[in-house]
Structure formats: structure tokens, C-alpha cells
């Protein structure tokens, strides 16, 4: 066989094998032990992430439910606070009115006592004039 022809044939086979090797490596379908381990590790990590996402979603769901409960309780307490504030204002107004009435009654009481003292003195004076002793 001609050495030149043999060299051309070998070069053609070498080129074809090189091309096929590169295509195989770039296809992502390498089935070496290392690639299989990497795919298994990636699958395991994806599963762990899915489990973590599910766990965290459950936590988010619980907190969202709790938030609704807290908002409802807060609304109820705000209404109760408003009612109590109105009641306090009513009580303060009543207390103010009663203090004013007490003050007025106290002044009237002093005036009535003064009149009573004057009337007693007048009664004593009249009794003394009529000769009646107390």
C-alpha cells in the first residue's frame, strides 16, 4: 500500500474520531462515572431544595394565617378601644357636671346655713323680747 494513501486514510480516521469525541463531550450525555456522580449529586441537591421550599412554604402559610388572625384581633381591639374611649369621655363629662353641681350645692349650702344662723338669731331675739327663754 502506498504510504501517502495510508497517511491520508489515517488522517481522515483521526479527524473523524476527533470530531466525534468533541461532539460527544459537548452533547451533555457523557456517561462516565464522574458525570454520573455529578448528575446524582445535582438530583439530590434539587430534591433537597424542593423539600426546603415545601417546608418554607408551610412556614409562610402558617404566618399568613396568623397574620389574618392578628389583623382580625387588632380590628376587634381597635373597635373596643374606640368604644372605651367614648365611654371615658362620657364619664369625664358626667364627673365634670357633678363637680359643678357639687360646687353649686356647696355654695347654696353655705348660703342656707348663713340664713339658718340668721333665722336662729332672730328667733332667739324674738323669744327674748317675748320673755321666752331658750
Give the list of residues 6+ apart from residue 1 with CB closer than 8 angstroms, or none.
Answer: none
The stretch 72-82 carries a mean pLDDT of 96
Q: pLDDT at position 54, please?
A: 95
What is the DSSP code string of 73-102? HHHHHHHHHHHHHHHHHHHHHHHHHHHHHH
Q: pLDDT at position 34, please?
A: 84
Q: In this structure, what C-alpha cell is assigned to residue 44?
A: 439530590
**Region for residue 30 given its phi and psi (left: phi exceeds 0; alpha: psi -120 to 50; beta: otherwise):** beta
Which single residue is written with the C-alpha cell 460527544? Answer: 24
Q: pLDDT at position 131, please?
A: 76
pTM of the predicted model, to two decimals?
0.47
| 81-106 per-position pLDDT tens digit | 999 999 999 999 999 999 999 999 99
Domain locations in the chain as residue ranges: 37-130
| 33-74 per-position pLDDT tens digit | 788 888 999 999 999 999 999 999 999 999 999 999 999 999
Burial per residue of 45-60, b for 16 or more beta-carbon CB atoms within 10 angstroms, e otherwise: eeeeeeeeeeeeeeee
CA–CA separation, 83 vs 50, rounded Å? Answer: 49
Q: In this structure, what C-alpha cell is assigned to residue 8?
A: 491520508
Amino acid at each position: 500500500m502506498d504510504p501517502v494513501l495510508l497517511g491520508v486514510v489515517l488522517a481522515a480516521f483521526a479527524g473523524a474520531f476527533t470530531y466525534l469525541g468533541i461532539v460527544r463531550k459537548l452533547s451533555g450525555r457523557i456517561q462516565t462515572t464522574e458525570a454520573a456522580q455529578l448528575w446524582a449529586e445535582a438530583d439530590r441537591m434539587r430534591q433537597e431544595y424542593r423539600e426546603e421550599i415545601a417546608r418554607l412554604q408551610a412556614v409562610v402559610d402558617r404566618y399568613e394565617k396568623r397574620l389574618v388572625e392578628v389583623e382580625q384581633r387588632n380590628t376587634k381591639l381597635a373597635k373596643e378601644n374606640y368604644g372605651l374611649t367614648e365611654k371615658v369621655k362620657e364619664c369625664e363629662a358626667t364627673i365634670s357636671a357633678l363637680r359643678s353641681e357639687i360646687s353649686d350645692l356647696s355654695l347654696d349650702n353655705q348660703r342656707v346655713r348663713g340664713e339658718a344662723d340668721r333665722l336662729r338669731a332672730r328667733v332667739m331675739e324674738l323669744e327674748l323680747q317675748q320673755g321666752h327663754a331658750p
